Chain A
Amino acid sequence: MLSPEEWSVIELSLRVALIAMLWTLPVAVGLAWLLARRDFFGKSLLDALVHLPLVLPPVVLGYGLLVLLGRKGPIGAWLNDWFGITLAFTWQGAAIAAGVAGLPLAVRAIRLSLDAVDRRLEQAARSLGAGKLRVFATITLPLALPGVLAGAILSFARGLGEFGATITFVADIPGETRTLSLAVHTLLQVPGGEAAAIRLSMISIVLAFLALMGSEYLNRRLAKRLGTRP
């Protein structure tokens, strides 16, 4: 039913979105914790910086990534010289772009759930002899897990749909950076590509549905395990 090229597009899209989600999640948890629980100089600046990808045109975001992480960019050159890592025009770069685009969504979801964790439970844990790190790992994080899950799903979904930053940073290279959105866009540019574009569009709708249903299922199981629902 689907051609090998189409399968590779799907596989690549899932890989990029998954890697994007995996690297942003710990970063988002750290940032959300800082923003929810700490007061420090420059906090509002950090807050604005975290939210920037949400309000910036994705193309500008991608251009920014190219300037910083491109072969000649300050970070990109360093990565290349020291580790031989190239991000521009690679699928790993696509995962970076997708992750950065989804980061604010993940941070917002996790921050909300951290805010909702009852601080008095943390105090109780401290009075039982648990240090700050143990309290975070055994009380705060498990209780905030629904928000972390929501953040993960949002980041994954955003990664799956990412277009502007991706095409600017890593271009549209078949088999390397041509994800679902890029493939649909390309197909619409060529005469007679419409049927294939519709097929891929249907697939992205199915993928989006599956992600949402999966998250709903996990959320219900979590609520049970967390004792917030019997």
Chain B
Amino acid sequence: MNAAMNAIVVDVALRLDEFVLQADLRLPGNGVTVLFGSSGAGKTSLINCIAGLVTPQRGRIAIGERVLFDAQAGIDLPPERRHVGYVFQDGRLFPHLTVASNLRYGVKHGSGAVAFDEVVELLGIGALLKRRPLTLSGGEKQRVAIGRALLSSPQLLLMDEPLASLDAARRAEILPYLERLRDHFALPIVYVTHDRAEAQRLAAHVVLIRTGQVVQQGAPAEVLPAVLLADQG
């Protein structure tokens, strides 16, 4: 797959309570891009724009040739037609469905579909399939949430601080799964975090965001040294 051809264009302006979020990004069409910045910097709002959960005031969002949003052309695909997977900070598993039904919720039948067993094995959740979300630990919930997003066969996977609600031990439990996921699927991932160690470990590309503005972007080795203490809050 040609990465340049699948580049992700995110050129948006979105009015938030305190400031205007502005970004004009061309993100690589493979590997992990980390959006880095303190909480409240606008990172989540930015990926909500990509997912179609929030509508920017102007701009354009595209994955390769596929336009998801174009204010001028009047294009605004609803979330369900964007083929963008989303792993939320709080998991958001459906409480009334078993783990297996949660995983299958977004499964599409047809070519290019992600194999169920493969995902279950990769994330080590085979033993959980019959359980209900209420009975899972935080780390297990997050792995199921990741599996559920993967199984919807997205063209792009968004992850919003998937480890933030977990303690250090649970984080250490999940990180290897994220690395396997990154290396196993040819799927671009946009990953939001304010944790430097996570960024260091996962990112191929880092975008540093402060109060709604892109301050710097590039390879982790270039950008991460510029990170201030204030960006990690």
Contact A226 B96 (CB under 8 A): yes
User: Is B95's CB under 8 angstroms from A120's CB?
Assistant: no
User: Is A123 interfacial (CB-CB < 8 Å)?
Assistant: yes
Looking at chain A, what size class is its interface with the partner chain? 20 to 34
Scoring A121, A125, A127, A225 by chain B CB atoms within 10 A of each residue's CB, the highest score goes to A127
Cβ of A130 within 8 Å of any chain B Cβ, yes or no, is yes
Q: Which chain A positions have C-beta within 8 A of B53?
A: 123, 126-127
A residues 175-230 in Cβ contact with B at 8 Å: 225-228, 230
Q: In chain B, residues 18-69, which have Cβ atoms closer than 8 Å to a Cβ of chain A?
A: 51-53
Q: Count of B residues near A, CB < 8 Å?
A: 29
* Contact A128 B95, beta carbon cutoff 8 Å: no
Q: Is the CB of A123 within 8 A of B95?
A: no
* Bound CA–CA A164/B25 (angstroms): 68
Asked if A46 is at the interface of the complex by the 8 Å CB criterion, the answer is no
Q: How far is the CB of A140 from chain B (nearest CB, A)?
A: 11
Most chain B beta-carbon contacts within 10 A, residue among A118, A129, A139, A228: A129
Taken residue by residue from 108 to 130, chain A's Cβ proximity to chain B (1 for < 8 Å, 0 otherwise) reads as 00000000001011011111111
- The answer to whether A142 touches B148, judged by C-beta atoms less than 8 angstroms apart, is no
Closest 8 CB pairs of A and B: A128-B106, A227-B95, A126-B79, A124-B92, A127-B86, A226-B96, A227-B132, A227-B134
Q: What are 13 A-B pairs at a CB distance below 8 A?
A: A118-B92, A121-B95, A124-B94, A126-B78, A127-B53, A127-B85, A128-B152, A129-B106, A129-B108, A131-B80, A228-B95, A228-B134, A230-B134
Q: Interface residues, chain A, CB within 8 Å of chain B?
A: 118, 120-121, 123-131, 138-139, 142-143, 225-228, 230
Assuming A128-B80, A227-B132, what are 14 further A-B pairs, CB within 8 angstroms? A121-B95, A124-B86, A125-B94, A126-B52, A127-B51, A127-B52, A127-B82, A128-B152, A130-B106, A138-B105, A226-B95, A227-B95, A230-B132, A230-B135
